[in-house]
Structures are given as C-alpha cells and as structure tokens.
Amino acid sequence: MNTLKIPQNKIYFRLLIKINNEDVFPNDYISPRNILYTRTKDDTKKEFGIVKIEDTVHFKYVINKNKNIDIYKKYLKLASQNEHDENKFDKLIQNFDLDCVNRNKVILKKN
C-alpha cells in the first residue's frame, strides 16, 4: 500500500467567515492569501471559506488559547456549534494522543 504524507500547508478546512454580510473574525485574522475560495449557502446568509489549517480559529486556539478564546466562543455561537464548547475542546486537546493517531491512520482511497 502506498502512503502519502500531506504537509500542513496543504491542509484546508471549511470555515464560516461571514454571516449577514458581517465578518465573523476581526480584520486580518485570516490571511486573504490563505483563502482558497468562498461560497455562500443559498438558503442562508452564511459565507464559508476554504482556508489553510493555520488560519482556522481552532488551530489558533490550540497555539494561543488566551489570545483566541473570545474569538473561538464567538465563532461557536455564530456557527451554531454549541456542542463544541471550549471545555470540550480543551479536554480533546489535553487527551490528544499522537501515538494513537499513528496507530489508527486514516486512509484515503481514490475511486
């Protein structure tokens, strides 16, 4: 079986970036050059961007919780992600086990 290591700068996520034409994040929180593209959901006033992992609020929270906790809480509220509160995220971070990830690899197959 072939394995492929994907570098961090090639990992992108879908992230809510605007709601009702209002920015979810402060100016310059997400580098415009790291937004691959944006899409607006037809049935809502929500605009999503595909962004590099290092520009996600989740990544920034892990790197510097104190600086990003209020932004993270606001994001969860606006994105209606109530089940992802900061206590659960802190627990996930605290219990993260890289050895477990390495033992249980995700395999992507091309159809």
**Residue pLDDT, tens place only, 12-62:** 889 999 988 889 999 889 988 888 999 998 777 899 999 988 899 988 998
Q: Give the number of other CB atoms < 10 A from CB of residue 16.
A: 19
Q: Which residues of 45-74 are buried (b: 16+ CB within 10 A; e: fewer)?
A: ebbbbebbeebbbbbbbbeeeeebeebbee
- Please check whether residue 92 lies inside any domain of the structure: yes
Q: Is residue 109 part of a domain?
A: no
Q: Does 84 map to a domain?
A: yes
Torsion angle of the four alpha carbons 79, 84, 89, 90, in this order, in degrees rounded to the nearest 10: 100
Is there a domain that residue 110 lies in? Answer: no
- Distance, CA of 22 to CA of 44 (rounded, Å): 13
Q: What is the pTM of this model?
A: 0.76
- Per the structure, the count of domains in the chain is 1
Average pLDDT value for residue range 62-90: 87
Q: Is residue 93 part of a domain?
A: yes
Q: Which residue segment(s) compose the domain that 47 sits in?
A: 11-103
Which residue matches tokens 């607006």? 40
| 42 domain residue, yes or no | yes
What is the band of 67 on the pLDDT scale with cuts at 50, 70, 90? Answer: very high
108 within some domain: no
Distance CA 20, CA 44 (A): 8
Whether 2 is in a domain gets the answer no
The band of 70, judged by pLDDT with boundaries at 50, 70 and 90, is very high
